Amino acid sequence: MFRVLVSDKIAKEGLAPLLESGQVEIVEKSVDDAKDLDTYDALLVRSATKVTDAVMEKMAGLKIIGRAGVGVDNIDVPAATRRGLVVVNAPDANTIATAEHTFALMLAMVRKLCLANASIRRGEWDRSSFMGSELFGKTLGIIGFGRIGQEVAKRARAFEMNVLAYSRSITPEKAGAAGAQASSLEEILTSSDIITVHTPATPETKGLLGEENLRKTKPGVMIINAARGGIVDEAALKRLLDSGHIAAAALDVFTQEPPESYELMQMEQVTATPHIAASTREAQLKVARVVAEEVLNFAMGRPVRNRVN
């Protein structure tokens, strides 16, 4: 029987395609705790389990790795490819959750909601310290215009924002369909009131918003990262927040998770959440179901749709 190790917490209802097939045995244990690792055909993970080459070495019978989510930076994909392993993910399933969380961060940041909430929880009634800004009429720059970037653009138009969008493959038609204007990275940096990042983590995007590019931005710009840690240089971001050039930032992801230091997140200008953009019941059910269906297709000899490698 095809054996599947579920190493991270994945919605039970989403695993229904596997559980109901009668063709698969599922074991829910981390790779650190599971025994007989070499007997598993498939490994299902979220972002917590690091699927290194060493893990693959221990799982000699492994054939497919399923990532219940989009990003695969916790999986050594080149090593999997060398070993002939298939890697699949769920690229569409958390799109809405992440786009909505981006706007939750944006609104919390511009209206200083977290500071106001903390104040009133302390028993204070301070109506003068939390003057915010409106989104109406502001220019939003979206770096990375895949599924999530496009959904963010659609929501920005509902707030009557001006939307600039950049990606390597963007076309005026693609941007226009989501209510955005195709732009260059340079134009987004120099023209945007708020910049939000929605690119994958790759060698090319690492440090994309580093010291040089952050200094090109308008004074008073606000930065959002709900994509992947490392795309925004956190040390450079802190320096420019300290200097006042960047007015505020909202972060859901960090270079190291959990961070060694919380100094950046403790700044008054920073709104931060612990990598929860995709953490909705609906999104987690969808990602689990999509990846479960992919693994079942593989086990039954059928084609997979969301192959990464």
Q: For the chain, what is the mean pLDDT?
A: 96
- State residue 276's pLDDT score: 95
Extents of the domains making up the chain: 2-93+281-299, 95-272
- Domain spanning 95-272 has what CATH number? 3.40.50.720
Mean pLDDT for 154-178 is 97
pTM, full prediction: 0.88
Q: Within 10 A of 216 (CB to CB), how many other CB atoms are there?
A: 13
> What are 106-126's pLDDT values in tens digits?
999 999 999 999 999 999 999
Tell me which fold the domain 2-93+281-299 belongs to.
Answer: Rossmann fold (3.40.50)
Is residue 146 pLDDT above 90, yes or no? yes
Cβ(102)–Cβ(152) below 8 Å: yes
Catalytic annotation, pick one of 257, 263, 268, 282: 257
Q: What is the mean pLDDT of residues 9-27?
A: 90
Do 95-272 and 2-93+281-299 have the same topology in CATH? Answer: yes
Indicate if 302 belongs to the active site.
no
pLDDT tens per residue across span 19-43: 899 889 999 999 999 999 999 999 9
State residue 70's pLDDT score: 87
Is the pLDDT assigned to residue 11 strictly greater than 90? no
204 — pLDDT class (breaks 50, 70, 90): very high
228 as an active site residue: the answer is: yes
| Active-site position among 228, 289, 293, 294 | 228
Q: What is the mean pLDDT of residues 126-137?
A: 97
Active site residue 275: yes
| Rounded distance between C-alpha atoms, residue 276 and residue 156, angstroms | 21
Q: Determine the pLDDT at residue 143.
A: 99
